[in-house]
Amino acid sequence: MADLLKAEGTITAPTDSSHDGVRRRDFINIAAVSFAGVGGIAVLVPLISQMSASADVLAESSTEIDISAIASGQAIKAVWRKQPVFVRNLTPTEIAEADAVDPKTLRDPATLEERTKKGKTNWLITMGVCTHLGCVPLGAGPGEVKGEYGGYFCPCHGSVYDTAARIRKGPAPKNLEVPPYDFSSDTVVKIG
Amino acid sequence: MSFPWAKNYKPSHPLMVYLDEKLPLPRLIYNAIGAGYPVPRNLNYAWNFGVLAGFCLVLQIVTGVILAMHYAANAGVAFDSVEHIMRDVNWGWMLRYAHANGASAFFVVVYIHIFRGFFYSSYKAPREMIWLLGVVIFLLMMATAFMGYVLPWGQMSFWGAKVITGLFSAIPLVGTPLQQWLLGGFAPDNAALNRFFSLHFLLPFVIAAVIIMHIWALHIPGSSNPTGVEIKTESDTVPFHPYYTAKDGFGLGVFLLLYCTVLFFFPNALGHPDNYIPANPLSTPAHIVPEWYFWPFYAILRAFTSDFLFIPAKLMGVLAMFSAILVWFFLPWLDTSPVRSGHYRPLFRKFYWILVLDTLVLGYCGGSPAETKYVLISQIAATYYFLHFLVILPLVSSIEKPQPLPYSITESVLGTDALTA
């Protein structure tokens, strides 16, 4: 160290002994700061990841529903991922109404067939979450307003869905979402 | 204040010039921990621990704020919510261990910082205020650590809360009502847990505020140094950046290696298994001790076993325990030697190391069961502890013949100084 110190006591950096313009200290500096930088970024991973869904929340992310008691024309509200799911047993009239619409004229084109399982077109299973800002639309509970298209009506901002839960009128951009589900048997549906 | 040769902040980029006019934050940083703060050129690694303590506070606040996102401060679910953090929350195990061991790391660092101050008499004029604020920070840290330890609501949490609030019941007349007021009941329960959580969240920010004052006060006379000789000229100093940012950065790397070793390989080594048993108000664990960082003071508390004059033993122990820290407030006036550094004080130096040993003995006894032999050793060690501060230190200061001091910091480093040559 002493040879780096002038008599006045000011400290000078070590000289470029190989004359290639790069000092040993430059390398150490870049290596150390880069290492610390990568380490610092790596530390962010757990700090950010801790906010995503924890193991107990993920463990609750599938749910089974018994649909045997739902008569034609009735609907129930189930809960999946802490959100309402509408399970609706469509009447033949409602199916006919849905099929009568040309999908090309819709805001979010889809047919009832695409939104239900094959051979079980009468079982319309959708999220009960309005695609506008997330309110629960009316129409699944007994006596609730179904809106002018006979499906669902969201009272928050006036979005209207038809009997295939497709958006027909109002501010919502998309049809009610169809969650991933399967029929475990003719009377049991597993969602998620 | 700074030294006349301190470098001036000169922003070159127009945006930085603009910012400097409106909000000179970069200037503040430059003058506080940048090239604008001249620091003695001879600081050794004992001077790393202030920065390390600051790092520990940040670590505790970051991990603590995150834990608070998942923890539930309710006596019914607190224990389960901690287990939820350990098992369900992504990286929760790591964050909780980082916080629990971070507290231990914080105390290790702060104890070294304090004993650095003892050895180099960092508390002496003109740095008394820095020292006094430092003792305040230490007291706040102890309160924060204690309340944090209660939050998991295990057996040690519960009985720790009961015993520590029990200290206040020793105060004559108002003691028992005071303890019930602190707890919001007759024993620790939901009310106590909730207020401890609230205060445990608040106090670190109070500590941060006092640290700002601690550093503010430090920057008036500037850092002390291993010779204890004040800065005379520019050649005695180097700019904080890059010299001490680099040195502190290296120290931080070593610290992190040790910390991570404990965090990832021995995360429960410093904890008590009993705290993984849910709180049970009907059964006290067989061997109840506080966390290691309280052991020396806990030993002093337990050293008083019989009534002294008209003061009951219980009150005496509590008074002694608090006095063991409060005596530090008087240190700048108890040590009257004009020489600061222990390197030039042969007699003081011996007693310093005896005090270190004495504190370690107290710590060992504080962590041991309350058996006769440990209590006896505690009594001797506690007596010596107070003798050191109240008798030995003033006495040594008056009879000791210090060794000759170097003319300047530069001379102590280079052997010569242009000013004397």
The whole-number pLDDT of residue A1 equals: 40
Q: Could you tell me the pTM of the whole model?
A: 0.90
User: What is the band of A111 on the pLDDT scale with cuts at 50, 70, 90?
Assistant: very high
Residues of B annotated as catalytic are 219, 223, 247-248, 291
- Separation in Å, CA B191 to CA A190, B80, B83, B150, B319: 43, 18, 21, 12, 27
The whole-number pLDDT of residue B417 equals: 78
- Separation in Å, CA B345 to CA B46, B205, B335, B349, B394: 18, 38, 12, 6, 13
- Which parts of B151-272 fold into alpha helices (H)? 155-168, 175-183, 190-218, 245-265
Contact residues on chain A for B44, CB-CB shorter than 8 A: none
The verdict on a CB contact (< 8 Å) between A5 and B417 is no
User: What is the band of A9 on the pLDDT scale with cuts at 50, 70, 90?
Assistant: very low
A39-68: average pLDDT: 93
Structure tokens at B357: 């040993």
Nearest chain A Cα distance for residue B89, angstroms: 5
CATH 1.20.810.10 for the B45-230+240-288 domain, yes or no? yes
Q: Which of B62, B70, B84 is closest, CB to CB, to A47? A: B62
Nearest CA in chain B to A55: B88
The verdict on a CB contact (< 8 Å) between A52 and B90 is yes
**Which of A50, A57, A60 should one mutate to test binding to chain B, selecting the residue with the greatest count of B CBs within 10 A?**
A50
| Helix, strand, or coil (residue A151) | strand
The whole-number pLDDT of residue B249 equals: 94
CB-based contacts of B316, cutoff 8 Å, min separation 6: B304, B307, B308
Nearest CA in chain B to A33: B249
User: B116, B157, B384, B182: which is closest to B280 by C-alpha?
Assistant: B157
Query: Contact at 8 Å (CB) between B208 and B57?
Result: yes
d(CA B417, CA B186): 68
Contact residues on chain A for B84, CB-CB shorter than 8 A: 54, 56
What's phi and psi for A115, nearest 5 deg? -95, 5
The whole-number pLDDT of residue A11 equals: 52
The pLDDT mean for chain B works out to 94
Q: Which of B69, B253, B414 is closest, CB to CB, to A9? A: B414
| Helix, strand, or coil (residue B157) | helix
The whole-number pLDDT of residue A2 equals: 44
Structure tokens at B227: 């010779």
Sequence ranges of the domains in chain B: 7-37, 45-230+240-288, 299-421
Instruction: Using the structure block, give the residue that is written with the tokens 């008083």.
Output: B304
Q: What is the pLDDT of residues A131-177, one digit of tens each?
A: 999 999 999 988 899 999 999 999 999 999 999 999 999 999 999 99
User: What is the band of A22 on the pLDDT scale with cuts at 50, 70, 90?
Assistant: confident
The whole-number pLDDT of residue B241 equals: 92
Q: Is the peptide bond before B239 cis (omega within 30 degrees of 0)?
A: no
Interface confidence (ipTM) of the complex: 0.84
Nearest CA in chain A to B89: A54
The whole-number pLDDT of residue B41 equals: 95
A83-103: average pLDDT: 94
**Which of B89, B233, B244, B247 should one mutate to test binding to chain A, selecting the residue with the greatest count of A CBs within 10 A?**
B89
User: B328, B329, B344, B346: which is closest to B406 by C-alpha?
Assistant: B344
Q: How many CA atoms lie within 13 A of B387 on its CB side?
A: 11
d(CA A87, CA A64): 12
Q: How many CB pairs below 8 A link A and B?
A: 57
Q: How many CA atoms lie within 13 A of A22 on its CB side?
A: 7
Element at B349 (helix H, strand E): helix B346-367
Query: Contact at 8 Å (CB) between B270 and B292?
Result: yes
Instruction: Give pLDDT < 50 ranges for chain B.
Output: none
Nearest CA in chain A to B62: A47
Tell how many helices (H) and how many strands (E) occur in chain B. 17, 2
Burial of B401 (0-12, 13-18, 19+ CB in 10 A): exposed
Whether residue A6 is predicted with pLDDT greater than 50 in this model: the reply is no
Structure tokens at B199: 């205060």
The whole-number pLDDT of residue B305 equals: 87
- Which parts of B266-345 fold into alpha helices (H)? 295-302, 313-326, 331-334
A118-139: average pLDDT: 94
Q: Which of A32, A45, A50 is closest, CB to CB, to B89? A: A50
The whole-number pLDDT of residue A8 equals: 46
d(CA B363, CA B300): 9
The whole-number pLDDT of residue A21 equals: 79
- Any B CB within 8 A of A49 CB: yes
Contact residues on chain B for A9, CB-CB shorter than 8 A: 41, 234-236, 410, 413-414, 417-418
Which of B:60-99 have CB within 8 Å of A?
62, 66, 69-70, 84, 87-92, 94-95
- Separation in Å, CA B244 to CA A34, A82, B41, B238: 18, 53, 9, 9
Q: How many CA atoms lie within 13 A of B182 on its CB side?
A: 17
A17-27: average pLDDT: 79
- Between B49-70 and B92-119, two packed helices, what is the crossing angle to 10 degrees? 150
d(CA B98, CA B58): 12
Element at A78 (helix H, strand E): strand A75-80
The verdict on a CB contact (< 8 Å) between A7 and B418 is yes
The whole-number pLDDT of residue B210 equals: 98
Contact residues on chain B for A52, CB-CB shorter than 8 A: 90
Structure tokens at B212: 């700002």
A61-80: average pLDDT: 92
- Separation in Å, CA A61 to CA A48, A82, B86, B182, B204: 22, 9, 20, 43, 38
